[in-house]
Chains A and B, each alone.
Chain A
Amino acid sequence: MTEAPLYGLMAEFDNPTDLVQACKASYAAGYRRMDAYSPYPLEEAADAIGFHKTRVPLVVLCGGILGGTFAYLLQYWINVFSYPLNIGGRPLHSWPAFIVPTFELTILFAGIAAVVGMLGLNGLPQPYHPVFNNPRFSAATKDRFFLCIEAADPQFDRIQTQRFMESFNPRDVSEVAD
């Protein structure tokens, strides 16, 4: 059992308060390579493991700027250079008419950036992950909360860390095979 490569140790809790307490304590004890798992978004857990900022908004902003610029320049180029149409002597660069497609493509690109950016930064889709090796983990999408300290953490010690995690009074602490 101990010979098999170990991904980490996983503690199971039945309420969010215990999970957040455990996360805070682990962070304070110096652990960094860890993750909390909950069946719904738990802002406090992310904060407790020291994950405060996401780059998703930046990706979305870039997507929006790209979409808007692309749409406007495309229309400008088409109407002024590629295919100029003189309709009643109106200016070729009739910008008010270009606003609608510019707006729509800004939203479109920003929205796609939000989805692709979120999935990309999360490393999804990911068909395999060691945490699923814990048979109890299927409850993480129902009503249980998990904290996993990874073996890759420099402070990780098979015995010490298990003892440390058991001090939180979890329902269970188990090994996660890699």
Chain B
Amino acid sequence: METSPESNATPVLERLLPDQPAVLGPGHTMGTVTDKITAIVLRRPMTLGWLGGFVIAFTMLNMLVLAVGYLFFKGVGIWGINIPVGWGFAIINFVWWVGIGHAGTLISAILLLLKQNWRNSINRFAEAMTLFAVACAGMFPLIHTGRPWLAYWLFPYPSSMGVWPQFRSPLVWDVFAVSTYATISALFWFIGLIPDLATFRDQAKNPWTKRIYGLLSMGWRGSARHWKRYESAYLLLAGLATPLVLSVHTVVSFDFAIAIVPGWHTTIFPPYFVAGAIYSGFAMVLVLAIPIRKFYGVEDMITLRHLDNSAKVMLATGLIVAYGYSMEAFFAYYSGNFWERFMFLNRATGPMSWAYVLLILFNILIPQLLWFRKVRMSPPMLFMVSVVVLVGMWLERFVIVVVSLTRDFLPSSWGTYTATRWDYMTFLGTLGLFFTAMLLFVRVMPSITIFEMRTMLPESKVQEEVAAHD
């Protein structure tokens, strides 16, 4: 800890390069930080823009209800899946959504351990994003079984049938990884919320609002003893979530890595799935952060610095993903394995090569724009690149899941895949679920961690020298 003997009048918490934007705009005090963030929920009336977004998202959510309702009625035959492509959109979407979830935990846990203070203003909604993305993801393994009402069979419980899950299968590992991830993310998010909910309780004017936030904040009163235990628990949770977040996508990638179908039989998957997850997660963080900071006027809290840093993380993880792709191509060539080589040639030049070409364009070529500071500093450009990356990462899973399965070892078992309208409706429907949840979250919960913003202010530090009161 470095305590510089600067006067407390200059709000300098970090050394900035000449034209580097700060993490927190100037002129803030604990009071203004609190007021500004609580006002978004407690004082601001509902706007037409929010309502419009909510109507669109909620309509899409209803489409999901319709699509899933019909699925339960008819069965998975309404989807485009077939033999050999038994895993279609459902698993693509599952992997895509789980991947998006990773950025939230990365920001809240790993950046906390690395003492990256800039994370403080984006971690809360990134955690919410994680939670909702994992909720969207978790749906797919359930509904793709065709008999979702028997999903509890996945868990080891003493059943009268006398059977147990097969613990040597990555599909069972997945159940443990994803359910643990969902639980820990929810706990981490909720624990982070408690002190801010107490602030809401104390700032709310409406007695019912006060009561509800009071209930949720569990009677938090900011006692020094409580804070000490709180910090200890929060840090430990971060330490636990760090290996967890790296393990989740590793385990998801095992579904593909340890099979023997060409394209599903490769050791590079765990690291490049994790990098890809963080890549798409940060893209989603930017897709959410850029409109939130604009519409809610918090550009001095989610500053260009945050966008810049997130873009750099995207660039770095994108390059790891690019390395993964090139290694796949290299293995195909260098292994001398006929099936591997065929698999690669089929991806790049086969009937579904459009997906591979777009994937390289969206995931590798276009994001190279992020090398330019001008792009990283321009919210509209960054928004576009992020959307492109999200589409690219979806295509990556399409190539891995669908294109690999269409070309097995034997030409007699080859096939093709076309998604049906129910596939598209389900996918768009989960986007509706995600955005409905995010829009509600922004209206009822503090989307920026208030108490951590307070610690970023110079006035929050205890001055050691001051002894006498004059």
> Chain A interface (Cβ within 8 Å of chain B)?
15-18, 20-21, 23, 35-46, 49, 51, 54, 56-57, 60, 64, 74-75, 78-79, 82-83, 85, 87, 94, 97-98, 100-101, 103-105, 107-108, 110-112, 114-115, 117-119, 121-122, 124-129, 131-132, 137-143, 168-169
Q: DSSP majority for the B interface?
A: helix
Q: Are B240 and A36 in contact (CB under 8 A)?
A: no
Known contacts A83-B164, A104-B177: A41-B451 contact under CB 8 Å: yes
In the complex, what residues of B have CB within 8 A of residue A124's CB? 218-220, 226
Q: Are B31 and A100 in contact (CB under 8 A)?
A: no
Count chain A CB atoms within 10 A of each CB in B30, B195, B203, B454 and give the residue with the most: B30
Q: With the chains together, A49 CA to B225 CA distance in Å?
A: 9
Query: When A and B form their complex, which 9 residue pairs have the shortest distance between CB atoms, in order from nearest?
Result: A125-B218, A118-B233, A143-B30, A138-B202, A36-B224, A126-B219, A104-B176, A100-B173, A97-B168
Specify which chain A residues have a CB less than 8 angstroms from the CB of B29 in the assembled complex: 143
Checking B180, B230, B236 against A105 with a beta-carbon cut-off of 8 angstroms, the contacting residue is B180
What is the bound-complex CA distance between A38 and B173, given in angstroms? 43
- Show 26 A/B contacts (Cβ-Cβ < 8 Å), sorted by A: A17-B462, A36-B223, A37-B223, A39-B34, A41-B451, A49-B225, A51-B224, A60-B233, A75-B167, A78-B164, A94-B168, A98-B167, A100-B254, A103-B247, A105-B176, A111-B184, A111-B187, A115-B187, A115-B191, A115-B237, A118-B229, A122-B223, A127-B219, A129-B221, A137-B221, A142-B30
**Residue on B with the closest CB to A99?**
B173
Which residues does chain A contribute within 8 Å of B228, judged by CB atoms? 41, 43, 46, 51, 54
> What 1/0 flags go to B193-212 for Cβ under 8 Å of A?
00100110111000000000
Chain A residue numbers with a CB within 8 Å of B226 are: 122, 124
Q: Are A126 and B466 in contact (CB under 8 A)?
A: no
Instruction: Give a binary string over B160-185; 1 marks a CB under 8 Å from any A CB, 0 the rest.
Output: 00111011101011001100100110
A168 engages B469 (CB within 8 Å): yes
A40 touching B180 in the complex, CB below 8 Å, given contacts A35-B225, A85-B166: no
Bound together, the chains give a CA A101 to CA B171 distance in angstroms of 11
Q: What would 16 more interface pairs be, CB under 8 Å, given A17-B462, A104-B173, A140-B202?
A: A16-B461, A18-B469, A36-B223, A39-B451, A42-B227, A46-B224, A74-B156, A83-B162, A104-B251, A108-B183, A108-B184, A112-B187, A122-B226, A124-B218, A124-B220, A168-B469
0/1 string, B338-353, CB within 8 A of A gives 1 = 0000000000000000
Is A107 a contact partner of B180 (Cβ separation < 8 A)?
A: yes
Instruction: Mark contacts of B448-470 with chain A using CB atoms, 8 A cut-off: 1 yes-contact digit, 0 otherwise.
Output: 00011011000111110011010
Residue B214 lies at the interface, judged by CB distance under 8 Å to chain A? yes
CB <8 Å contact, B218 and A142: no
* Closest Cβ–Cβ distance, residue A78 to chain B (whole Å): 4
Residues of B within 8 A of A23 (CB): 224
B375 smallest CB distance to A (angstroms)? 35
User: Measured between alpha carbons, how far is A64 from B214 in the docked complex, in Å?
Assistant: 31
- Establish whether residues B177 and A142, one from each chain, have CB atoms under 8 Å apart when the complex forms: no
Shortest beta-carbon distance, A144 to chain B, in Å? 9
Q: Which of B221-252 contact A (CB under 8 A)?
A: 221-233, 236-237, 240-241, 243-244, 247, 251
Q: Total A-B pairs in contact (CB under 8 Å)?
A: 202
- B contact residues around A132 at 8 Å (CB): 221
Q: Which residues of the other chain, A, contact B168 by a CB distance below 8 angstroms?
A: 79, 87, 94, 97
Interface size class of B (residues with CB under 8 A): 35 or more
* Chain B residues closer than 8 Å to A79, beta-carbon distance: 167-168
Give the Cβ gap from B183 to chain A, nearest Cβ, in Å. Answer: 6
Inter-subunit contact B224/A107 (CB<8 Å): no
Is there contact, CB below 8 Å, between A111 and B202?
A: no
Q: Which residues of A contact B31 (CB under 8 A)?
A: 142-143
Question: In the assembled complex, how far is the CB of residue A44 from the closest CB belonging to chain B, in whole angstroms?
Answer: 5
Q: Taking CB as reference atom, which chain B residue is nearest A101?
A: B176
A103-B247, A124-B218, A126-B219 as given contacts; A111 in contact with B230, CB under 8 Å = no
Determine how close the nearest CB of chain A comes to the CB of B92; give it in whole angstroms.
Answer: 23
- Residues on A with C-beta less than 8 A from B177 are 100, 104
Take A40-B452, A118-B191 as given contacts and tell me if A56 and B164 are in contact as well, using a CB distance cutoff of 8 Å: no
Q: Which of B243, B254, B469 contacts A107 (CB 8 A)?
A: B243
Report the separation of the CA atoms of residues A60 and B218 in the bound assembly, to the nearest whole angstrom: 21
Asked if A115 meets B233 with Cβ closer than 8 Å, knowing A38-B224, A40-B460, A100-B177, the reply is yes
Beyond A107-B240, A125-B218, A138-B202, is A42–B224 a contact (Cβ under 8 Å)? yes
Near A by CB (< 8 A), chain B positions 420-453 give 451-452
A39 CA to B188 CA, complexed, in Å:
19
Contact among A36, A45, A56, A108 for B233, CB-based, below 8 A: A56
B104 to chain A, nearest CB (A): 15
